[in-house]
Chain A
Amino acid sequence: MAYFAQQAVNAISLGFLYALIGLGYTMVYGVLTMINFAHGDLFMLGAFVCLLLVTFSPVALPFPVLLILVMVIIGGLGVLIERLAYRPLRQAPRVSAVITALGCGLVISNTTLSISPYSRAMPEVFDDRYFNVLGVGVSTLQVLIIGVSLALMIGLDALIHKSRFGMALRAVAYDAGTVPLMGISVNRIISLTFLIGTGLGGAAGMLYGMSFPVISASMGILVGWKAFIAAVIGGIGNIRGAVLGGFILGTVEIFSVATLPSTYRDLISYSLLLVILIFKPYGILGRAPNIKV
């Protein structure tokens, strides 16, 4: 029973990380119906930026400052990529933008690889401690991951459903062609979407790097793609779907490793995607798109 509870805690914290990354995929898809395949690599870069900041900062930066800096830097990079690489292709066929996104991802991961060909150890950002809750070992880091992710998700949900920006974001997702008639600059809304979506991915990268403290340039592909799968399982384009998908994937991974040989993990999670998509082709919370005539 304690073993089960222990695994559940691990599954929740991993699920939160997948959800946090998946949000970036799903937000961009929601406004542009495009998969930002560079998102996983920006997630990876989040961990590296954190490493750089910790290594080269003359003063020890406290965790909240590090988190905000990473989010702003990665978010800004996301905005820049959209501006330079995706916006010129806005009217081009979707596949051109998707290929460009893959290209951007390759540039980011290979640049990182050329600078840091080996895996790096992530230094401790703060003093991590284990404590015992009813026989279950929980680390401060896990509590932090869960707390920060939860706060970011609640914040995002409020932003989308309560704020002016959220209203405009939902309008763009519904009918971007009519939005300018409200006096709203669609480009500004899209830039902000990238800032927030990739910023969350950067935060996830930093938290992931702290909890699995060996980071490498290939992390974006390994972890980022799984988060993409999570977003698809939940229903891409749907914010709550990304969170749900993250939890499902996190749970399946942790419990397949706990009960079966660990090499089965990816086989099981990818099979799960295929099975879910057979029955729910648009994901669990996704809906078939409205085809406008």
Chain B
Amino acid sequence: MSSPAVTEDILLEVKGLTVSYGDIRAVKNISFQVRRGEIFTLIGANGAGKSSTLRAISGLIRYSGTLSFQGENLYGVSADRIVARGLAQVPEGRGIFGNLTVMENLRLGAWLRRDRRGIREDIERILEALPRLKERLHQLSGTLSGGEQQMLAIGRALMSRARMLLLDEPSMGLAPKLIADIYRVLREIHATGTTLLLVEQNANLALRLAHRAAVLETGEITLCGESATLLASPDVQRAYLGA
């Protein structure tokens, strides 16, 4: 993979993370680390706790355990301040504001920035990379197709100039051709030096993209390691790759 070297320093550290909804524990005491410059993926079936993990990292839900980003504890930091620290999320189901235009969605992604010129340049760059958005720039984003909305959601998260992107099932509900497009874009984003934490049900795709991975099953990490190792593992092949 022709991308910036993965470093040894830890960008995001998850230690003993537990997320509960009432009596139900969706995530049970999980720990993993994401290194600066790498692509890390959490794979697992529906309901394994993947989205809950991302939502906890983004500060959208309550949790117990320790989350730290660039060595700073995230506990008690509100979701909007976490974005300010350089962590942006592309939420499950895209979270596009359908009543706003494509342009307005992109500008909202840059909410915390004040450098008008930089924002304009970033919008230009994102539109170059995602030409289908360019044609629909002043259209209401609710009228876009699923694939276009996913592109927009990714572009919008990039507008914050985050160090790290959290992506919640970007391939969900898309045709294979579009999924390939999305993954190509993710590779390009990573090549610019952004660290990615990718949550996927589509283990095959995610493991081929990521450096390292963890398998989440009913809220617990059952396997964690190099993606290549996991791809070759008979357990993973049987459970997630249909081998």
Contact = CB atoms under 8 A, between A and B. Distances in A.
Given A168-B111, A175-B95, A175-B97, A183 B89 contact: no
A178 B112 contact: no
B24 to A, nearest CB: 18
B98 interface: yes
Nearest to A167: B104
B108 interface: yes
Interface size class of A (residues with CB under 8 A): 10 to 19
B108 A167 contact: yes
B98 A180 contact: no
Contacts of B98: 174, 290
Interface string A153-179: 000000000001001101101110110
B3 interface: no
A185 interface: yes
Contact of B95 (A164, A178, A183, A186): A178
Interface in B92-136: 95, 97-100, 104, 107-109, 111-112
Interface string B165-198: 0000000000000000000000000000000000
Interface residues of B, number: 26
A206 B211 CA distance: 65
Nearest to A178: B95
B97 A174 contact: yes
A182 interface: yes
A170 B111 contact: no
Given A167-B107, A167-B108, A175-B95, A185 B100 contact: no
A181 interface: yes
Contact of A180 (B78, B97, B156, B157): B78
A222 B27 CA distance: 53
Contact of B80 (A173, A175, A177, A180): A180
Interface string B145-167: 00000000000110010000000
Contacts, number: 64
B84 interface: yes
A168 B80 contact: no
Contact of B108 (A173, A177, A182, A185): A182
Contacts of B81: 183
A184 interface: yes
A138 to B, nearest CB: 39
B59 A180 contact: yes
Contact of B91 (A164, A167, A178, A186): A178
Nearest to A188: B80
Contacts of B203: none
Given A174-B99, A174-B100, A175-B97, A181 B111 contact: no
Contact of B97 (A164, A178, A186): A178
B224 interface: no
Contacts of B59: 180
A203 to B, nearest CB: 27
Interface in A197-255: none
B155 to A, nearest CB: 13
B99 A183 contact: no
B95 A173 contact: no
B11 to A, nearest CB: 19
The residue in A170, A173, A183, A290 that gathers the most chain B C-beta atoms within 10 A of its C-beta is A183
Contacts of B91: 178, 181
12 contacts: A164-B107, A167-B108, A170-B99, A171-B108, A178-B95, A180-B59, A180-B80, A181-B58, A182-B108, A183-B80, A183-B81, A183-B111
For the complex of A and B, the 10 pairs showing the least CB-CB separation, nearest first, are: A180-B79, A183-B83, A178-B95, A183-B112, A171-B97, A180-B80, A185-B80, A174-B97, A182-B108, A174-B99
Interface of A: 164, 167-168, 170-171, 173-175, 177-178, 180-186, 290
Given A171-B100, A182-B156, A184-B108, 9 more contacts: A167-B107, A170-B97, A171-B97, A174-B97, A180-B59, A180-B60, A180-B78, A182-B109, A184-B80
